[in-house]
Amino acid sequence: MTAPATDALTESIYDAALDAAHWPSVLGQLKTAFRTEAETFYVLDFATREVGEAHLAGVSPYWLGQFNRFYFAPDNPWNVHSAALHRQGLVRTNERLDAFTRQRGVLYRSSYYHEWMVPQGFHYSIGNTLTSDRRAIANVTLLRAPDLPRFNAGEVRLFEQLSVHFVRALRVRQHLDTLRTSREGLAAMLDGLTDALLLLDDQGRLLHGNQAALDWLARRDGLQVRQGVVEPTQPALRARFTAWLTAHAADALHAASVPDTLTLARGASHLPLALRASGWTLPVSSWHSARRCVLVSLGPAGALHVGPPAEALRGLYHLTPAEARLAHALCEGLSLREAAEALGITYGTARTRLKAVFGKTGTHRQSALIERIRRDLPRPIGPR
């Protein structure tokens, strides 16, 4: 095999680690390089005694369905001596099996050979184990017809050379899977929270946002997202916002130079938007290294004031204490008549106060009022 062809095959192996769609190309190049009838990458699960995930060329679905029956048979030497022979980096051939067992032609006396290999026109094999544990192993195995010579020393050396890349590529695949699992777990955690949370990089690019945060961005209520970048709706605030993010994404020393909370102006009828930042080091977008990013929570600045829910409503909408108590009772799930009884006022007085609350919150119906309050408070009160 020429050096350019070897390089191309090596590149294809790593491409397959990143995207399984490249496996047919790898198998095709192995076929050309080793003049084989079948080329396989598969997982053997010794707990279930079955072949698992596989990329195959030259083995039909029917014969794949027959594989478990014959491979795990008690007279198959590859199965009998699996613990010793299926070791990472150990290239196996029929001749090396003979040397290990000190029995010439031991494979050719097995039902695996006569009832699975021979009917498909297979005689010689060369293989290597990429990963192994007590439960399962991942193998690459090539099968050659009987009218061709056995795998020679040069071919064994080439297969050993390629096997090193197979092993490394599989480690890359496993690393990617681990990062993907971490990212999906993080996303699920954020999505399960009611607070509005954004995960941003140091330039404001949106890495993830839970539904509450995405709804907020969609309203363009102090913050918006354009071409994947989160930014204040007011252009004059964007440079300050980016500098704040960059400091928190850098490290604790830089984060100490800026406040944890940043407030952004909203419409005249709303309190400012309060953003809280926390720097994180998470493998969320790069498979080769961890990446610094910023977890940002957002909500009206009025929610920063500590106090009962009615007090928060007073500050948020400039309600009187009586109006705030009524609004709070409605958010707790009470009807207007029930709220009046609970507050010790007449139903008519409750109706009058509700009209005043409608005017101050820009709503016209009780359901719209409750939705407005739940939207504006980062930790909504009342049943949901």
Q: Which domains does the chain have, with CATH numbers?
A: 3-180 (3.30.450.80), 194-302 (3.30.450), 309-376 (1.10.10.10)
Per-residue pLDDT tens, the chain, 384 aa: give them. 788 888 888 888 888 888 888 889 999 999 999 999 999 988 888 778 888 778 899 999 999 999 999 999 999 999 999 888 888 878 999 999 999 999 999 999 999 999 999 999 999 999 998 887 767 888 899 999 999 999 999 999 999 989 888 888 888 777 666 656 566 666 676 776 667 888 898 889 998 888 888 988 998 888 999 999 999 998 988 999 999 998 888 776 666 677 777 888 776 556 678 888 877 765 544 433 456 788 888 876 654 333 346 777 777 788 898 998 899 888 877 889 988 887 889 999 999 999 999 999 899 999 899 888 877 764 444 444
The predicted-structure confidence for 34-54, as pLDDT tens digits, reads as follows 999 999 988 888 778 888 778
What is the DSSP-derived secondary structure letter of residue 47?
T
Given this model, what pLDDT does residue 118 score? Answer: 96
What is the DSSP-derived secondary structure letter of residue 236?
G
pTM of the model: 0.52
